[in-house]
Amino acid sequence: MNRILETFGLKKHLNWTLKKNKSDFIKMLETKVKPNRLFFFDIFDSEQKEFYGIVNENDFWLRKSDRLIPNCPWASATGIMKTESNKTTIELKIKGWNWFIILWICFMTIIFGLALSDVIKTNQFGILVVFAPIFLMFYLFALFKMRQGVKRFEKYLKAELNE
């Protein structure tokens, strides 16, 4: 399953080494991270930090903080920090979805399933020519936004965490 998600660009694994030691990296990360909240309420947040998330001694979880027009609202990253002779090695996993997008896809699947069962009951298969592409566009839009979010979040993390 991970290979399928990575093939479609919905999940990405990164490993990189920073020149900072682990404690300095944790301090730097804590200055950029604020406590997590539902992304619907990001508009009302006045704190000017780059990420929402959790930072621990050995790992962290981050998502981008965008106030008005989010570039990658569903992408999040989970990282594990390891120390190697005054350097920090980070194993990072970026995923492009959260509970909201899973609900969206489930909702679209239920609506499409109900419409398909109604089409089969009434034997009006011509309506599928109109509505099947519309449902397909909704699915592809969600996949495109997730993929785009993973790419943008990866670039942003590399820029912010390599300081």
Look at the pTM and tell me if it is higher than 0.85: no
Per the structure, the complete domain to which residue 55 belongs is given by 2-100+136-161
Let me know if residue 122 belongs to a domain: no
137: Cβ contacts below 8 Å, ≥ 6 apart: none
pLDDT of residue 80: 92
Rounded Cα distance, 162 and 61, in Å: 17
Nearest to 94 by CA among 1, 14, 4, 2: 14
Q: Using one digit for the tens of pLDDT, what is the confidence trace for 50-106?
A: 777 889 989 998 887 665 445 656 788 999 998 888 788 889 999 988 777 788 889
% of the chain beyond a pLDDT of 90: 12
**Structural domain total, the chain:** 1
Read off φ and ψ for residue 110, nearest 5 degrees. Answer: -65, -45
Helix (H) or strand (E) holding 6: helix 2-7
Let me know if residue 110 belongs to a domain: no
Let me know if residue 128 belongs to a domain: no
Torsion of the alpha carbons at 68, 64, 94 and 148, rounded to the nearest 10: 30
110 pLDDT higher than 90:
yes
What's the CATH number where 51 sits?
A: 3.30.530
